Chains A and B, each alone.
Chain A
Amino acid sequence: MGRVRIVEVPMALEIPVGPQHPALHEPLLIKLYVEGEEVVKAEVNTGYNHRGIEKLCERNTFYRDIFICGRVCGICNTVHANCYVRALEALLGMDPPPRAKYLRVLAMELERVHSHMLINAVMAEVLGYETLFMSIMRDREAVMKAKEILTGGRVLADYMMVGGVRRDIDEVKRDRLLKILDRVEERVRYYRRVFEDDPTIAKRLMGVGILTPRDIVSHSLIGPVARGSGVKIDVRFEDPYDAYPEIEPLRMVTRDEGDSWARMMVRWDETLVSIEVSRYVLEHLPQGNAVPDERRLPRRFPPGEAFTRAEAPRGELTYYVMSDGKPSPYRVKIRTPSFNNIINGAFAFVGAYIADAPVILVSFDPCISCMERVTVVDPESGAKKRLSLRELAVQGVM
């Protein structure tokens, strides 16, 4: 007479977050295996957006690639173009004039401001706090206007060129930019206070997705994600480029809590630092010429290789450019910050509740187009089509 023991093994339920999902802005599949409400395993599936930009860069000349690399990501396009251009300047052994360096810093810091405002607005939206989302976006428009005054485009700046920048600013523009910065700073301080005091935000963000410094370094997480847990890494301090060594108000922002709230607060504090830096740049612009004559730039590049890093709003961006003496590069490797943060960051979901998953994801600041560099638009039909890499290479054009 045996007694039968029934052992109940709770099944883990697989919940796909994405590829189309209201909490996500770009296609990404995160498979969450949950038991009840708690996540026990997470898998990240990418590949919905792959564009084959690295192969494309090998088929175009160095100068065309400046514009192609600037279109890897819409939000951080100046940083991508800047990192690539600095790699080209390293290959040529060229140093841009000081005024150009300051203007580059201005463009990149303005981009950091609008990118951080965007992700904080998205965090508010993901929490359901739509009013706050709309308010932040309205004030972000002022920054887009500033970018338009400086570079000629609201989103895509196309501002960087080998040897400097593509346009200069005069006194009138400088004053307008300073006025915009004053207005934006006041609003950013207000929103920072809201994020500190508001009970909804506190309940949903504090204590969610805590990461230890050990986890962060061994998983290669970078940017505000790392700085929110106290890891002091920031390319602007380690590898100072352009005019960053001369800018006094620049400081690294870190927090020790390590949760999603700390990550968002790091971003707000960085926004304030960026506004101070932009103001400093505008007030201390050196004289001289900032715009190189594009017609005189060399067509062929000497053989060599260069590895440059930049601090994108999302973290450390690296470019590797190898030239073999032809007008086109031999190899261009782009490693965007979201590549590390999102794919390696899947472990952060384990142990959290399902409702915390979008919060954790947004606190990592996902930029999926940066991560995968995809989406070819067919010029003939004007329709968005997934061109396979074959068609891409045969046509040789974006």
Chain B
Amino acid sequence: MVHTFLKEVLKNLFSKPATIQYPREETQVEPDFRGRHYADLTKCIGCSLCAIECPSKVITMKPIPKELAAAVPKANRRLVFPSIRYFGCIFCYRCVTICPMNAYVVTNEYRLASDKPLFSDELSLETLRKAPGGRDEH
């Protein structure tokens, strides 16, 4: 009967829209949603497994600037760190699960739209700056 659905239609007409009015309203994202991730360089040993295993091949190993090398673990002999190119990343988290040192920091940051290419370099190098014995003490 038509009236089964008509009741629903009338109810919807007088209630708040179901659409989340982003960006005025925040979307409710789970805390363990697969969002922006980066390597914590105080744990990374530069083994490059993440770069080798990445299905999209967006991780490249880049050299760590000499002035920050103090806080890097001794096992990282080549002094390299993984840099993720977020525009190609598929957020499968293979790098996170394959890392032998569990060195990846995971967040649920999903707001990654940008007009310039995004890389994880700054976030990773910041972990060295903030480390005790690194460049900055705070």
A and B touch in the complex (CB under 8 A): yes
Quick one: CB contact mask for A146-171 with B, threshold 8 Å, 1 for yes? 00110011001010010000110000
Is B112 part of the contact surface with A, judged by Cβ < 8 Å? Answer: no
Cβ contact within 8 Å between B55 and A68? yes
Q: Would A138 and B18 be within 8 Å (CB), given that A67-B92, A197-B1 are in contact? A: yes
Contact of A131 among B9, B55, B85, B92 (CB under 8 A): B9
| Closest CB in chain B relative to A168 CB, distance in Å | 11
Is A288 part of the contact surface with B, judged by Cβ < 8 Å? Answer: no
Contact of A64 among B53, B93, B97 (CB under 8 A): B53
Contact of A197 among B4, B58, B91 (CB under 8 A): B4
Quick one: CB contact mask for A52-65 with B, threshold 8 Å, 1 for yes? 00000000110110
Cβ contact within 8 Å between B98 and A398? no
8 Å CB contacts to A: which residues of B40-91? 53-58, 85, 87-88, 90-91
Cβ contact within 8 Å between B2 and A198? yes
A148 and B31 CA atoms in complex are apart in Å by: 10
Cβ contact within 8 Å between A158 and B92? yes
A134 and B55 CA atoms in complex are apart in Å by: 36
Contact of B4 among A63, A149, A198 (CB under 8 A): A198
Cβ contact within 8 Å between B87 and A382? yes
Question: Closest chain A residue to B49 by CB distance?
Answer: A295
Using a Cβ–Cβ cut-off of 8 Å, how many residues does chain A contribute to the interface with B? 33
A376 and B61 CA atoms in complex are apart in Å by: 25
A161 and B2 CA atoms in complex are apart in Å by: 48
Number of residue pairs A-B, CB distance < 8 angstroms = 70
Is A135 part of the contact surface with B, judged by Cβ < 8 Å? Answer: yes
Is A194 part of the contact surface with B, judged by Cβ < 8 Å? Answer: yes
Name the A residues within 8 Å of B34 (CB-CB): 152-153, 158
Name the B residues within 8 Å of A132 (CB-CB): 5
A397 and B59 CA atoms in complex are apart in Å by: 13
Is A373 part of the contact surface with B, judged by Cβ < 8 Å? Answer: no
Best-surrounded residue of A64, A156, A197 (most CB of chain B within 10 A): A64
| Closest CB in chain A relative to B10 CB, distance in Å | 11
Is A93 part of the contact surface with B, judged by Cβ < 8 Å? Answer: no
Quick one: CB contact mask for A370-394 with B, threshold 8 Å, 1 for yes? 0000000001001000000000000
8 Å CB contacts to B: which residues of A75-108? none
Contact of B55 among A166, A379, A382, A398 (CB under 8 A): A398
Name the B residues within 8 Å of A148 (CB-CB): 29-30, 33
Using a Cβ–Cβ cut-off of 8 Å, how many residues does chain B contribute to the interface with A? 30
Cβ contact within 8 Å between B94 and A194? no
Question: Which DSSP category, helix, strand, loop or mixed, fits chain A's interface?
Answer: helix
Cβ contact within 8 Å between A194 and B53? no
A333 and B53 CA atoms in complex are apart in Å by: 22
Is B32 part of the contact surface with A, judged by Cβ < 8 Å? Answer: yes
Q: Would A158 and B18 be within 8 Å (CB), given that A63-B53, A197-B1 are in contact? A: no
A152 and B31 CA atoms in complex are apart in Å by: 9
Name the B residues within 8 Å of A194 (CB-CB): 4-5
Is B100 part of the contact surface with A, judged by Cβ < 8 Å? Answer: yes
Name the A residues within 8 Å of B97 (CB-CB): 161, 166, 294
Quick one: CB contact mask for B96-116 with A, threshold 8 Å, 1 for yes? 011010000000000000000
Cβ contact within 8 Å between B98 and A294? yes
Name the B residues within 8 Å of A183 (CB-CB): none
Cβ contact within 8 Å between B100 and A295? yes
Is B137 part of the contact surface with A, judged by Cβ < 8 Å? Answer: no
Is A199 part of the contact surface with B, judged by Cβ < 8 Å? Answer: yes
Q: Would A64 and B8 be within 8 Å (CB), given that A138-B18, A379-B88, A382-B87 are in contact? A: no
20 A-B pairs in the complex with CB atoms less than 8 angstroms apart: A60-B55, A63-B53, A64-B94, A68-B55, A131-B5, A131-B9, A132-B5, A135-B12, A138-B18, A148-B29, A148-B33, A153-B91, A161-B97, A190-B8, A294-B94, A294-B97, A295-B100, A379-B58, A379-B88, A382-B87
Q: Could you tell me which A residues sit within 8 Å of B by CB distance?
A: 60-61, 63-64, 67-68, 71, 131-132, 135, 138, 141, 148-149, 152-153, 156, 158, 161, 166-167, 190, 193-194, 197-199, 294-295, 379, 382, 397-398
19 more contacts with CB within 8 A, not counting A132-B5, A148-B29, are A60-B55, A61-B53, A63-B94, A67-B90, A131-B9, A149-B30, A153-B33, A153-B91, A156-B90, A158-B93, A161-B97, A198-B1, A198-B2, A294-B94, A379-B58, A379-B87, A397-B57, A398-B55, A398-B56
**Across the A-B interface, the 3 shortest Cβ-Cβ residue pairs:** A67-B55, A64-B55, A152-B34
